[in-house]
Amino acid sequence: MSVTTIGNNIYRWLNERLGISTSVLPVIEHPVPETDWFYVLGSATLVAFIFQILTGVALAMSYVPAPNSAYDSIQFITHSAVLGSLIRGIHYFGASAMVILVACHAAHVFLYGSYKFPRELNWLTGTFLLLFTLGMAFTGQLLRWDQSAYWAVVVAAEQVARTPFIGPQLVELVIAGQTVGGATLTRFYATHVFLLPALMFLLIGIHLYLVIFLGISEMPTPGVPVDPATYKERYHHLLETEGIPFWPDAAWKDVVFALGVGLIVVLLAAFVGPPALEKLADPSILQAYPRPDWYFLWLFALLALIPPSIENEFIIGFPTLVVILFLVLPLVANKGERSPRRRPWAVGIVLVAFLSIGVLVYEGEIAPWSPLTSVEPLPASVTQNLKTPSEVRGAALYQNMACQACHAIGGVGGLKGPSLDGVGRRLTRNQIISRIMNGGNNMPAYAGHITPQQLNDLTDFLQAQK
């Protein structure tokens, strides 16, 4: 019996039970308009997502989402597990590839006006997929549990806290408490591994259904605007006269491009390797210089450039405005010209957006930043009353540990934590020691990160604040 006969028998057996010829083949062979290479971005993003799921499952086999084990488990994956370094590298570079592909896909849909009637829901589901992709990237960073990841999340939580009215509640929801700790790591792991992928699978299913049901948008033609009253009739006429089967006439471009992207990711993983971990996350080391992954670096660089007087409004207002514009676009501009030649403003928006992000990523990469505010010297009203060497050493320790980044004393310092003026009257010595060692209310716990001598000096200094 020949190989062809065996293959035909297997196909016939499966077809009788799965209905391949009546349900699957009509879908993959449905007619589509002639398209260019930009149309491959959507399918390539889907392939990248599938590879992220596969490599993520492989990494989850060895990863331990606990503060005392997460860092060591990633070290084990990278240096000891079979193919661990390669898989982690593919997952890391695959995440970058997915962010780039989904952003480019959104830009292509915007430039070609493919969000117009009748594909408004395609754009809306794609917008949420873009947001969830960024959410996956954000939650995945903390899982490394090194200094950069830890403090990047701390800074992000501080930005979320500026949301009017519900800021503290949002922060507690995001980081699972008042401080970034073990509960935060568990919540980010569950969100990264279970919640966001489940939501993305649901949205991808809806998105693919809409693509098949409504068809792939045709190439835009200058002078041929979208008219909801006649578009569907014109589109179906185009498929009947000029349409080609999706497989294999159109899909070969998707296959070639996806293989090319996959090859680049694998080569980077093999020859460059996954990023090295920084030091283990330590909330007591405030003099850290964390840097978020590159796809968020532009936003942090932008926040560093805006005037402090509008910082709160910008941190909340800018992302909110961008999301609102994405959501209302297909609802208010669902007809008219699609060709970029007739929509130069659309070309300008995309060019300015990509150029600005590129410049900001570069500036953020070459300029180190810190989550700390500048620490001013303690005022004389605080230091002139210090009497013992222990109190003087405690004052120096107070500054070196950047306690002023959160607490004000003598009118100098941050407002995140309670003022320490008169703390020596309000709290007993044991209460002060307990607060320092155990933390709470968004203050890190310093137990295990401060020596007995330092604890005694710092307590003496704070007790002197009567």
What are the tens digits of pLDDT across the range 4-41? 888 888 989 988 888 888 888 888 888 999 999 999 99
How distant, in Å, are the alpha carbons of 113, 115, 195, 258, 401 from that of 223?
13, 18, 45, 33, 65
**Tens digits of residue pLDDT in 252-298:** 999 999 999 999 999 999 999 999 998 888 776 655 666 788 888 88
**Span 348-374, average pLDDT:** 78
Count other Cβ atoms within 10 Å, centred on residue 289: 13
CA distance 189 to 195: 9
**Span 317-345, average pLDDT:** 95
For residue 375, is pLDDT > 60?
Answer: no
**Span 420-444, average pLDDT:** 79
**Tens digits of residue pLDDT in 212-230:** 999 999 999 999 999 999 9
What share of the chain in percent tops pLDDT 70?
A: 92
Give the pLDDT of residue 373: 42
Which ranges in 191-271 belong to alpha helices (H)?
196-214, 231-242, 251-271
The structure tokens listed for 283 are: 């909330």
pLDDT band at 436 (very low <50, low <70, confident <90, very high): confident
Count other Cβ atoms within 10 Å, centred on residue 170: 15
**Tens digits of residue pLDDT in 334-356:** 999 999 999 999 999 999 999 99
CA distance 43 to 50: 11
Give the pLDDT of residue 218: 95
| Stronger pLDDT, 238 or 398, i.e. the higher one | 238
Which ranges in 333-428 belong to alpha helices (H)?
344-366, 380-383, 389-400, 423-426
Is omega for the bond preceding 248 within 30 degrees of 0, making it cis? yes
Give the pLDDT of residue 410: 83
CA distance 202 to 342: 35
CA distance 104 to 133: 13
The structure tokens listed for 141 are: 């960073």
pLDDT band at 415 (very low <50, low <70, confident <90, very high): low
For residue 111, is pLDDT > 90?
Answer: yes
The structure tokens listed for 150 are: 């830890």
For residue 308, is pLDDT > 80?
Answer: no
DSSP 418: -
For residue 64, what are the β-bridge partners? Answer: none
| Stronger pLDDT, 299 or 241, i.e. the higher one | 241
Considering the segment(s) 36-366 as one domain, its CATH architecture is Up-down Bundle (1.20)
| Stronger pLDDT, 66 or 415, i.e. the higher one | 66
For residue 65, is pLDDT > 80?
Answer: yes
CA distance 407 to 399: 11
Secondary structure (DSSP) of 2-39: -HHHHHHHHHHHHHHHH-IIIIIHHHHT-EE----GGG
For residue 413, what are the β-bridge partners? Answer: 408
SS3 244: strand
- 62 Cβ contact list (under 8 Å, min separation 6): 73, 76, 77, 81, 84
CA distance 90 to 270: 8
For residue 441, is pLDDT > 90?
Answer: no
pLDDT band at 440 (very low <50, low <70, confident <90, very high): low
For residue 396, give the nearest of 414, 378, 410 by alpha carbon.
378
Give the pLDDT of residue 287: 55
**Which of 118-122, 318-322, 422-426 tops mean pLDDT?**
118-122
What share of the chain in percent tops pLDDT 90?
A: 52
For residue 371, is pLDDT > 50?
Answer: no
Give the pLDDT of residue 181: 83
pLDDT band at 143 (very low <50, low <70, confident <90, very high): very high
**Span 198-204, average pLDDT:** 97
**Span 389-396, average pLDDT:** 87
pLDDT band at 374 (very low <50, low <70, confident <90, very high): very low
Print burial letters for 379-392: b (CB count within 10 Å at least 16), e (below 16): eeebbeebeeebbb
Burial of 61 (0-12, 13-18, 19+ CB in 10 A): exposed
CA distance 106 to 326: 10
Q: What is the CATH number of domain 380-463?
A: 1.10.760.10
Q: Where are the domains of the chain?
A: 1-32, 36-366, 380-463
How distant, in Å, are the alpha carbons of 155, 291, 304, 307, 308 from that of 312?
13, 21, 12, 10, 8
Print burial letters for 129-151: b (CB count within 10 Å at least 16), e (below 16): bbebbebbbbbbbbbbbbbbbbb
Give the pLDDT of residue 251: 92
Query: What's phi and psi for 169, nearest 5 deg?
Result: -65, -40
Identify the weakest region by mean pLDDT among 46-50, 369-373, 443-447. Answer: 369-373
For residue 140, give the nearest of 211, 225, 24, 56 by alpha carbon.
56
For residue 189, is pLDDT > 70?
Answer: yes
Q: Determine the residue type at 298.
A: W
For residue 168, is pLDDT > 90?
Answer: no
**Tens digits of residue pLDDT in 67-91:** 889 999 999 999 999 999 999 999 9
pLDDT band at 139 (very low <50, low <70, confident <90, very high): very high
For residue 32, what are the β-bridge partners? Answer: 244
| Stronger pLDDT, 293 or 96, i.e. the higher one | 96
Which ranges in 112-195 belong to alpha helices (H)?
120-142, 147-160, 167-175, 182-190
DSSP 192: I
Mean of the per-residue pLDDT values of the chain: 88
- State the Cα torsion 70-71-73-74 to the nearest 10°: 120
Packing angle of the helix pair 196-214, 120-142 (nearest 10 deg): 160
**Which of 204-218, 270-284, 357-371 tops mean pLDDT?**
204-218
CA distance 375 to 396: 12
pLDDT band at 320 (very low <50, low <70, confident <90, very high): very high
Q: Determine the residue type at 159.
A: Q
